[in-house]
Amino acid sequence: MTNFFSRLIGVLAVSTTMFAISNASAGVNELPTDIQNSLYNKDFLDPVQPIGESAYRDWVAKNPPPWKVGYASSYAGNTWRAAVMDRLQNELVPKWKDLGMLDEVIITQSNLNDATQIQQIRQLVDQGVDAIIVCCSNPTALNASVEYAYKNSVAVFSGIGYLTSPYSINSSANFVVGGRMMGEWMANEIGGKGRVLNVEGIPGTSASDSQNVGIEKALADFPDVKVKGQIAGMWTDQVAQAEVQKWLATNPGKLDGIIIQSASELGALRALQQSGRDMIPITIGSELGALCYWRNNPDYVSGAIHAWPPGDDFEMIWNIMMRTLQGQGPKVQSILTTPVSMDKNEMMAAIPSDCSEQSDKWYHPGIEAWAGKEFLNNFFLRPADPEKYDVASHPKS
């Protein structure tokens, strides 16, 4: 069977090269050609993804390190967010404090309430933070508060999804590419024809909507694959399980596969198991419980797609933040990477035989595989190893 992952990346790398270059912004034009063509080609990009020149090209933090950072999280109610907090509190904070570049991290939670998150961002600015990271938020609702932060010399970084404000630096995988990978994988997995259920994440957030754009683009190439339902799993296994169970109960006809965004696939597996139906293919991401089910049933599916391993994804925006505070000068508003695919042999080597199908933990390819130092160097005007920054050399305000 043709390896669809390799084939898709090949298509992304070579198709419409001149279109991508001629229509890119100046910031994108400064990137290596292969990155432009695979990640910033407008045929494979969310049309609202900001790819202009970064407002922080010549920006340097107003204060010398150690810096105070705000993390304005929009939600804490799923395993993905728990894995982010684990990486932040148990790895990133101790590491960067030891490096002399971090004073403290102030964490807020808005529970998907835009008005609350707006207020919290303003409060973080007023508390004197040097930078703010937001996560997976509404792409437009926060723009006024982001501008407020920028005008008060506080840099804002949107991890795992984008804000449309020109004063935000965004990072994630290219979720349209990730969605295309998911949609094409499913179409091939079911032989190019059949009925599928599409389970979104949190509709209205850029990461969820971008993945959905990619899924729809991929399925447009497979006219015999029909989407028979579209529901929201809210990136939460318990919600996804309940919604999938409800849909299956009210739609008793044949179903051939479930396309579901990660942080929900374990819920879909449980819903299938409890429904009494055949265990049809689902798209598996990085949830260890779902990967363990595949480990215990190695012929269940042919591959997984790691679209946003939480710890690696958050460390990516963290490293971008540190480079920006140091004055390395990001070239472009959105710094994108490529989802990581996994075949059966790779899964068998990575997931231990004594794994638990009930695990709420996550598999991580590792920050170097996701967005390592050499990769991020491509996106900065004055790239350097951020961990070797000379704290004493920082300009005094």
Q: Give the chain's length.
A: 397
For residue 131, give the nearest of 197, 63, 195, 37 by alpha carbon: 63
Tens of pLDDT along 290-325?
999 999 999 999 999 999 999 999 999 999 999 999
Q: Is 350 helix (H, G, I), strand (E, B) or coil?
A: helix
Q: How far apart are CA 154 and CA 146, in angstroms?
A: 9
Mean pLDDT for 231-248 is: 96
- Contact indicator for 61, 395 with CB cutoff of 8 Å: no
Q: Tell me if the pTM is above 0.85.
A: yes
Residue 12 pLDDT level (bands cut at 50, 70, 90): very low
The domains of the chain, with CATH numbers, are 175-306 (3.40.50.2300)
Report the Cα 97 to chain-centroid distance in Å.
26
- Contact indicator for 59, 328 with CB cutoff of 8 Å: no
Q: Please determine, for residue 396, whether its predicted confidence score (pLDDT) is greater than 80.
A: no
Tens of pLDDT along 138-189?
889 999 999 999 999 999 999 988 999 999 999 999 999 999 999 999 999 9
Residues 6+ apart with CB under 8 A from 384: 323, 326, 328
Which DSSP string corresponds to 108-150?
A: EE-TT-HHHHHHHHHHHHHTT-SEEEEES--TTTTHHHHHHHH
Per-residue confidence (pLDDT) for residue 25, from 0 to 100 = 61
For residue 321, give the nearest of 192, 187, 157 by alpha carbon: 157
Asked if residue 66 has a cis previous peptide bond (ω within 30° of 0), the answer is: yes
